[in-house]
Amino acid sequence: MTKEIVCVVGARPNFMKMAPILQGLSAHPELRAYLVHTGQHYDEEMSRVFFGELNLPKPDRDLEVGSDSHALQTARIMTRFDEVLEERKPRMVLVVVDVNSTRACSLVAAKRGIEVAHVEAGLRSRDRSMPEEINRLVTDAVTDLFFATSPDAIENLVAEGVPRSKVHLVGNPMIDTLRLHLPAARARRAAAKFGLEEGNYALVTLHRPSNVDQPDLLHRIVRALEALSVRIPVIFPVHPRTRGRIADVGVPSSPALQFVDPLGYVEFLSLQASARLVLTDSGGVQEETTALGVPCLTLRANTERPITISEGTNRLLGTDPAAIIPAAFEVLDGGAVPPRCPALWDGHAGGRIAAVLHAHLSPG
């Protein structure tokens, strides 16, 4: 008998992690994936681009919840997802990462007595001011099957009382997607499109409210990027909301500092792969730069992905923009961490996850 697994995506980082899992599940015909897109990231054009580039199937159901406060968005997701589970009555719900959709859908499934599998379980920043940290804690509290990307995540789960037998170290499905699309990304040569020389520019991606919603702090970040652009060209794909905030604090006139529109997955990967360094506050970018061997400077006080520091190319700068220039110049002067990549970040995590799901759901 076919066993249905409802697979949930809600925001763009979910897409990159879900694609290899769905591909892995296709090797087990007795497991049927039913894809639900909550619509948490509701930009139709960007969603279309990501689904197309990653060869994700069209969602079986789009909940179209859109944007709102955390409470209202979560409530809408829970109400609409509950209707899906009432109709489908699946064997399991599979959620990924740490967005509101992850928390909301796992809670609904648990209340209905449906098993929950969580991909990227056990990641902890220990900073409860981050909404993502609350989502991680709540999701793992109701999870039945835990998929970890790194040993530190397993240690966190065991310390919280999760039986080790329920936790599986499978690697990182986001890196599956990266390795699959890297040849196309390199062939895209996105740097040339923006008048940049490969290996001779800095790529910036910032989106966390702690960095972009405080005018004084954002002003200091932008001025640091302007100072950095004197030494090396800087390109910053900016979300429209953040672009408006940058305009409020004053857009610098440096021709070597480019603010561009958000990019599709392959084009952004192309820029990452040939950057001299990356400045970010994104957990996913910390992982991708580690796999690519590109120096990464993270403008945060903490990270839920410490393996990108201990076994990768990432370095935490803290929250003071004054740290940007000395750290960036150190990289440019040859002080970058030698490229390393964690074990099992080898492009086969999706297959491992599917194999564990098959074994877990098979009789006996």
pLDDT digits (tens, 9 = 90+) for 290-310: 999 999 999 999 999 999 999
Q: Are 78 and 95 in contact (CB under 8 A)?
A: no
Q: In percent, how much of the chain has pLDDT > 90?
A: 84
Residue 45 has a pLDDT of 58
Q: Please, where in the chain does CATH 3.40.50.2000 lie?
A: 3-172+346-361, 179-335
Q: Are 350 and 7 in contact (CB under 8 A)?
A: no
> pTM of the prediction?
0.95
Query: Considering only CA atoms, which of 349, 364, 357, 336 is closest in space to residue 180?
Result: 349
CATH of domain 179-335: 3.40.50.2000
- What value does the mean pLDDT take over residues 178-183? 97
State the Cα–Cα distance between residues 184 and 351, nearest whole angstrom: 22
Name which of 66-70, 113-117, 211-215, 268-272 the model is least confident about.
66-70
Cβ-count burial of 166 within 10 angstroms (0-12 exposed, 13-18 middle, 19+ buried)?
A: middle
Catalytic residues: 207
Q: Is the pLDDT of residue 43 over 80?
A: no
Residue 51 has a pLDDT of 78
Helix (H) or strand (E) holding 324: helix 324-330
Q: Is the pLDDT of residue 50 over 90?
A: no
Q: Are 11 and 78 in contact (CB under 8 A)?
A: no
Query: Considering only CA atoms, which of 238, 332, 346 is closest in space to residue 290?
Result: 346
* pLDDT band at residue 32 under the 50/70/90 scheme: very high
97: left (phi over 0), alpha (psi -120 to 50) or beta: left
Q: Give the CATH class of 3-172+346-361.
A: alpha beta
Q: Is the pLDDT of residue 276 over 90?
A: yes
